Structure 1
Amino acid sequence: MKFEHDNMVGVHLAVSLVNLEAGGSWGAGALQRVLERHAIRGARVIGSAGEEIKAWSRRLRPVFEAASQDERCETINDLLADGAGRVYLTTHDGLRPHLHFAPEGKDLQSRVKAVTAGGLAVFTMEAEGHRLGVCALDSCRTAFADTSRNGRRAYCRARCANTDAVRRHRMKQR
């Protein structure tokens, strides 16, 4: 399965927000950098937008921790109900046709909710309910979207996989 980066903005933004909140580095500056890195237009964090997005990121985490396809779909449906507006195709800024889940005029937090809920829904559909998870290393638990060729990723990065392999090897040696 091949995933195109342009269609993954909502998923990658969701991963970044979940991990930013879990990492304890949440702040207006950190949030601003995440939004800019994911090309969220008009990403100026003002007023209560940051706190509302932080609360939303806490609602995103259960999507990655879901134990089944049904649980993941139910959680995403709740996010869609609360975050997505009318879905439509657009071709702004010279980009090829793509989906938007909220009108451009909406406030920042509404657009973040819409793009993450919609992105998670599309990714989950394309990945047949799999490929979202949290790192299998107990001390890590970083969220990730698995875009690998075989779709069997269990760790957020190679370092965590190696750490866990060493731990298992040492336990076996005892």
Structure 2
Amino acid sequence: MQQNHYGRLGAVLSADLINLPEVGAASVHTLLEAHEIRRPEVEDLHVEGFRHWRDQLARAFRPDTPAEQCSAVNDLLVEATIRPWVTTHDGLQPHLHFVPDEADVLSRVKAVTAGGLAFVLCWEGGARLGRCRRPECSRAYVDTSRNGRRRYCSARCGNTEAVMRHRSRNAQPKS
């Protein structure tokens, strides 16, 4: 998958936020740290906002049609109030952000996730945003494979499903 860093980061962060078992200040902080989000401190007043945002993000990973997926991502872009912002906060090359650097953590996460999903949708196609096909799982994932044929959240889920299909075929009586 050929994609800019910002798009991939935002899309993968979206999936990981959707898959977070419990949205609390500590769990979101840990997730944001793992994704190297600067100033990841999450206050209790942001927790409900993160829960709401997680529910909004999930719509982009369960579309019935491409038009519905575009609508879901457009709704995210509107709610995130994205506008391009060039910054040199790290002293390196100027680079693009979607909100001012001094914005609160919830606003920054909204911007990076909505922008990332828009990049993936437009540059790679909506099929790169998916839900695990194993009925017992349904975790969100971003397909970063070269061929774009991923259908499970992990190799473990894919292997488990393959074993179940194999056992089901072999358990049928042969005539």
Q: In the alignment, what sits opposite 2:115? A: 118
Give SS of 2:90's match. Answer: helix
Taking a change above 3 Å as real, the CA distance of residues 19 and 57 of structure 1, as seen in their structure-2 partners, is same
Q: In the alignment, what sits opposite 1:10? A: 10
Q: Deviations over 1:107-142 (max 9, x none)?
A: 211111111111110121110332000100010111
How much does 1:100 deviate? 1.2
Taking a change above 3 Å as real, the CA distance of residues 79 and 96 of structure 1, as seen in their structure-2 partners, is same
How much does 1:5 deviate? 4.2
Give the alignment partner of residue 163 of structure 1, picking from 140, 160, 173.
160
**What percentage of residue pairs aligned between the two structures are identical?**
46
Q: In the alignment, what sits opposite 2:86? A: 89
Measure the CA separation in 2 of the matches of 1:76 and 1:6: 16
Greater gyration radius: 2
How much does 1:6 deviate? 5.3
Give SS of 1:93's match. Answer: coil
Q: In the alignment, what sits opposite 1:150? A: 147
Matching of residues 67-78 of structure 1 within 5 Å:
67-78=64-75
TM-score when scaled to structure 2?
0.89
> Over the residues paired in the alignment, what is the CA RMSD in angstroms?
1.7
Following TM superposition, the consecutive aligned residue runs of length 4 or more in structure 1 with deviations greater than 6 angstroms are none
Measure the CA separation in 1 of the matches of 2:146 and 2:92: 26
Taking a change above 3 Å as real, the CA distance of residues 64 and 97 of structure 1, as seen in their structure-2 partners, is farther
Matched residue type, 2:59: P
Unaligned regions of 5+ residues in structure 2, if any?
none
